[in-house]
């Protein structure tokens, strides 16, 4: 998928709504044992990259160093029709001193306003370093199940239309 096509998907109002919501991303990566992993995680959308942060030496940091390819979804699957943003990309890890601003921007979406300052103070006292994981989107698809549906379902709809047209 070309960079501009990815940007076009990620800049659609529904995609921006999902990325600014309090829904965590589910990030998939390949573990060191070769098995797939999926973890829900807070994230920040910079406008061009998805940024997550974690503990230095964590399993996902070691796994991403070995294989930086990731996939993620942000979705409202508990509602009908579901809205789904799918992204694939490459992750770059960077050890940083203290707590990255993007970490706080990403996780405080889930924390009530009156608890944010206490949370931030606790996080800053706990993490002397963090690993910032920057995901560059290389493919994206937005499904609203009203105007866009999965490609396989689109094919079935076309086939049925052809059959009924005969």
- Rounded Cα–Cα distance for residues 42 and 107 (Å): 5
- In which band, very low, low, confident or very high, does the pLDDT at 39 lie, cut at 50, 70 and 90? very high
The structure's pTM equals 0.87
| Element (DSSP H or E) covering residue 4 | helix 3-10
3-class DSSP assignment, residue 125: helix
Question: What CATH number did the domain enclosing 80 receive?
Answer: 2.30.110.10
Q: What angle do CA 67, 71, 76 make, to 5 degrees?
A: 155
Mean pLDDT of 37-59: 95
Reported as a pLDDT band with limits 50, 70 and 90, residue 166 is low
Please, what is the average pLDDT of the chain? Answer: 93
Residues 110-151 pLDDT 10s: 889 899 999 999 999 999 999 999 999 999 999 988 877 778
Interacting residues of 79 by C-beta distance below 8 A, sequence separation 6+: none
pLDDT tens digit sequence for 51-76:
999 999 899 999 999 999 999 999 99
Quote the domain boundaries for residue 85.
3-165
Per the structure, the count of domains in the chain is: 1
Residue 42 clears pLDDT 80, i.e. is over it: yes
The answer to which of 1-5, 11-15, 79-83, 96-100 has the lowest mean pLDDT is 79-83
Given a cut of 90, whether residue 165 has pLDDT beyond it is no
| Maximum pairwise Cα distance, the chain | 70
């Amino acid at each position: 998928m070309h960079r501009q096509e990815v940007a076009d998907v990620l800049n659609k109002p529904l995609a921006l709504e999902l990325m600014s919501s309090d829904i965590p991303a589910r990030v998939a990566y390949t573990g060191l044992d070769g098995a797939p992993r999926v973890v829900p995680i807070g994230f920040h959308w910079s406008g061009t990259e998805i940024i997550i942060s974690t503990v230095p030496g964590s399993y996902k940091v070691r796994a991403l160093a070995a294989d930086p390819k990731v996939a993620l979804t942000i979705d409202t699957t508990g509602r009908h029709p579901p809205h789904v943003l799918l992204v694939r990309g490459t992750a770059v890890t960077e050890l940083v001193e203290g707590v990255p601003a993007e970490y706080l921007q990403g996780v405080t979406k889930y924390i009530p306003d009156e608890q944010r300052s206490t949370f931030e103070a606790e996080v800053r006292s706990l993490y002397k370093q963090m690993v910032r994981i920057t995901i560059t989107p290389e493919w994206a698809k937005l499904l609203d199940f009203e105007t866009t549906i999965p490609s396989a379902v689109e094919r079935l709809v076309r086939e049925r239309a052809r059959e009924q047209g005969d």
